[in-house]
Amino acid sequence: MINKNWLFVITLGSVFSTIISCKNDIDIYAEYKETAVIYGMIDPNSSTQLIKINKAYQVKGNALGTAKIKDSSIYKSTEIEVYFQKFEKNNLLKTYPFTIDNSIIKEDGVFYTDGNPIYSFDTKKELATDINYDYKIFFKHKRNDGSVYEASSKCKLFSCSSNDFIYPSQRFNYPGHEIPGHKLMEDNSDKYNSSLAVKFTSVEFGKRYTCHLRLFYREETNGNTLKKFIDYPIGIKIMNYTTSGQAVEFLFNAEAFYNYVGQKISKVTPEDKIRRRADSLQYRVTVIDDNINTFITANNLASGISQEKPVFTNITNGLGFFGCRSTGILVIKPDATKITIFSNSVPYTQNSKITINTAGMNQASNDELAKGKFCKQLNFAYYEWRGTDQNLGGLKEFFPIY
């Protein structure tokens, strides 16, 4: 970590030295103080909790070079203790031991990357969201000189689910409003629905609500199929109060959704031999607590080696944040979720039948994904009836490009 104030004084000193010949030196470099940097977002719906713990460092010389040294930012596992604990009115109920997870690969950059230790706690989805419970992260470093450094934080938990959605619901099957809402208007003009809404019920201790629409799709290349998804960001709502029972509403329009999909998924040419099929849609509302929201807002998620000391932290004797995050997920599917179609790529046989998921879209919506002005170069499948006899026609699958 670079001390910006120290660098600033050096710069001014070099300017003054060109004006006057002065030998007086001022050293304002502060004495090093150990500081743990802890980041943790606890999700009660997950069976495993991951906590990232590093140490801040301070150097007079080459800060960029020091960042590449492992001991500058990573604690030795033999010198530390980390506990995730459950309390009820200050009475310790349970301690979850940690294991070190090195499976998450850190991208190459300024800091040391040959190993990225994450502290993992197996909670088996048994974390209770009762208001009387507190959850604490406790960190202890045993120094070589026999002294001990400690840092800690605590939070309360909440949990979100599909039951927290007010609209749409799991019984969503109204043809005029199916997601993403492209529909034929009463005057027979084909228009985008500009008044789509998502309504969610607030949860106790939830502060910031972020809504996405996730489109799952399958991508086939030379006979090999990969399952993929894309998240369309609908919006963010920050509540004035962290109480439950409030209506959190997000508004968006279908045209923006298709435009986003058309920009984020790669375009296809006949030479690519890529075919895509829409699979399913999800609404996802992710909620974080007041502490994490304040950290994000106050620090603007600044990054890089020259990052200043965070304006806000809820880590006692350290830096970072520790709080709760939970995601409510609603799968959008009409009543008739699956239909059987007949591929136009081979003559009809029993084996050529394909079962597809209608992705919660009406036919106009799926056609827009396949043939609309924003997405027609993505080569999504569309479906048309060709005759009534299965050997001659039926509902068949087509692709815009090949």
Cis peptide before 180 (omega within 30 of 0): yes
pTM for the model stands at 0.79
Counting beta carbons within 10 angstroms of the beta carbon of residue 292, is it exposed (0 to 12), middle (13 to 18) or buried (19 or more)? buried
Of residues 374 and 116, more confidence is placed in 374
* pLDDT over 60 at 71, yes or no: yes
Main-chain phi, psi angles of 69, to 5 degrees: -90, 125
Of 31, 26, 30, 33, which is closest to residue 10 (Cα–Cα)?
A: 26
Task: Name the residue ranges covered by the structural domains of the chain.
Answer: 31-157, 162-288+330-398
Give me the percent of the chain exceeding a pLDDT of 70. Answer: 67
Give me the mean pLDDT over the 216-244 stretch: 94
CATH architecture of 31-157: Sandwich (2.60)
Dist CA 284 CA 321 (whole Å) = 23
pLDDT confidence of residue 333: 60
Element (H, E) at 221: strand 206-221
* Highest mean pLDDT, choosing among 72-86, 95-109, 202-216, 294-308: 202-216
* pLDDT over 50 at 224, yes or no: yes
Dist CA 268 CA 266 (whole Å) = 7
* pLDDT over 90 at 366, yes or no: no
Element (H, E) at 149: strand 148-155
In the chain, what's the furthest Cα-to-Cα distance?
98
Give me the mean pLDDT over the 219-247 stretch: 95
* Sole residue written with tokens 């996405």: 212
* pLDDT over 70 at 322, yes or no: yes
Walk across the sheet containing 247-252 and list its strands: 165-167, 196-201, 247-252
Of residues 39 and 17, more confidence is placed in 39
Instruction: Give me the chain's average pLDDT, please.
Output: 77
pLDDT confidence of residue 361: 64
Give me the mean pLDDT over the 279-298 stretch: 91
Query: Are 128 and 157 within 8 A, CB to CB?
Result: yes
pLDDT confidence of residue 240: 95
Query: How many residues are recorded in the chain?
Result: 402
Of residues 287 and 58, more confidence is placed in 287
Instruction: Give the pLDDT band of residue 367 (cuts 50, 70, 90).
Output: confident
Of 43, 355, 380, which is closest to residue 230 (Cα–Cα)?
A: 380
Give me the mean pLDDT over the 65-81 stretch: 79
